[in-house]
Amino acid sequence: MAGSNFVDYVKIFCRSGNGGAGSAHLRREKFEPKGGPDGGDGGKGGSILVKGNAQLWTLLHLKYQRHIFAGHGGSGSRSTSTGADGESKTIEVPLGTVARDAETGEVLFEITDNGDERVLVPGGRGGQGNVHFKSPTNQTPRYAQPGEPGIEGTFILELKMLADVGLVGFPNAGKSTLLSVLSAAKPKIADYAFTTLVPNLGIVAYRDHRSFVMADIPGIIEGAHEGKGLGHRFLRHIERNSALLFMVPADSNDIMKEYRILVSELEKYNPELLDKERVLAITKSDLLDNELMDELREEIDVTPYLFISSVTGYGMDRLKDMLWKSLNRETT
């Protein structure tokens, strides 16, 4: 999933179709010159639908398709013939997409399952033909209903990455390196901050042919909950993760202070994030000897935690065991 091709936010303008007008036709035949009303109903206007597609990972296909219009319903006609329904438009999106009203910010719905289909903008109803208005006192109504107009509006589609484990840490904490070691993902890796600008997903193989999905979330900075460093765009991906792996490098000046800043940023953004299972990994532990590890253990006051090194592979199996236990805590 190339960084330049990953789009997790689009604003689109949608307009559903107008409902077709009902017909006010009166039946006229050779031997029945004054037949009753036989006007049919108008067709329903097309709707704008949103459908989940598990094969999609990005909203890139909507980046250049910002205007989406559905078809209008056809008018009713003689012999109580109903007009054709307008063509609906279906927008396929990745799982984890949230639709919201751009004007009010109201969340309309979330797409989390493959094939899940929701109506974003309903089409206008077709008008009733004059056959519906016939009564004992009005045998030949010469009027019918017009169709309902379609609805238009601007909407925001946001992708919140669906993954079992989300990697949380400051830039250059080793998140991308860990993902590349544990999975077949090939994120961009370099020795400078903000190498990762978009989330990357990887499937981590576990024992007995089991697996779980890990997401490398772009690095958080202090003040991210206020939007600093694209904080809101990064933090929303964490909302979908079942467990969080906090990563703090062993060469940090104060491991616990850095960990608490990360926890604080998540809490200020959304307190519910702290209800998720958490594991603390001290990365780059190949820089430590046993004596330094013992000293750090006395400073660390959270559990569970462990020391790992993506370079040497130290702690990788234990890490996968801890994450699997966190993901399945409710069922074990």
What's the pLDDT at 141?
Answer: 92
The dihedral of CA 310, 314, 316, 322: what is its sign? negative
What's the pLDDT at 234?
Answer: 62
Please answer whether residues 249 and 283 qualify as being in contact, where contact means their C-beta atoms are separated by less than 8 angstroms. yes
Q: What angle do CA 158, 164, 166 make, to 5 degrees?
A: 70
pLDDT band at 324 (very low <50, low <70, confident <90, very high): very high
Domains of the chain, earliest start first: 1-159 (2.70.210.12), 165-331 (3.40.50.300)
What's the pLDDT at 231?
Answer: 40
Return d(Cα 96, Cα 118) in angstroms, integer: 13
Residue type, 217: I
Please answer whether residues 18 and 73 qualify as being in contact, where contact means their C-beta atoms are separated by less than 8 angstroms. yes
How many other CB atoms are there within 10 angstroms of residue 172's CB atom? 19
Phi first, then psi: give them for residue 328, nearest 5 degrees. -115, 25
pLDDT band at 272 (very low <50, low <70, confident <90, very high): confident
Lookup: tokens for 51:
């459908």
pLDDT band at 36 (very low <50, low <70, confident <90, very high): confident
What's the pLDDT at 268?
Answer: 85
Share above pLDDT 90 across residues of the chain, in percent, rounded to a whole number: 48
Return d(Cα 47, Cα 124) in angstroms, integer: 8
Q: 219-252: per-residue pLDDT in tens? A: 665 554 444 444 445 666 777 788 999 999 998 8
Return d(Cα 239, Cα 266) in angstroms, integer: 9
The answer to whether residue 11 scores a pLDDT higher than 90 is yes
Instruction: Kindly list the strands in the beta sheet with 165-168, ordered across the sheet, starting from the edge strand earlier in the chain.
Output: 200-205, 211-216, 165-168, 243-249, 277-283, 305-307
> What is the average pLDDT value for the chain, to the nearest integer?
85
Q: 120-171: per-residue pLDDT in tens? A: 999 999 999 999 999 988 988 999 999 999 999 999 998 877 778 988 888 8
Q: What is the pTM of this model?
A: 0.67
Cα–Cα nearest to 48, from 106, 91, 100, 97 = 91
Q: 65-94: per-residue pLDDT in tens? A: 889 999 999 999 999 999 999 999 999 998
Return d(Cα 170, Cα 34) in angstroms, integer: 82
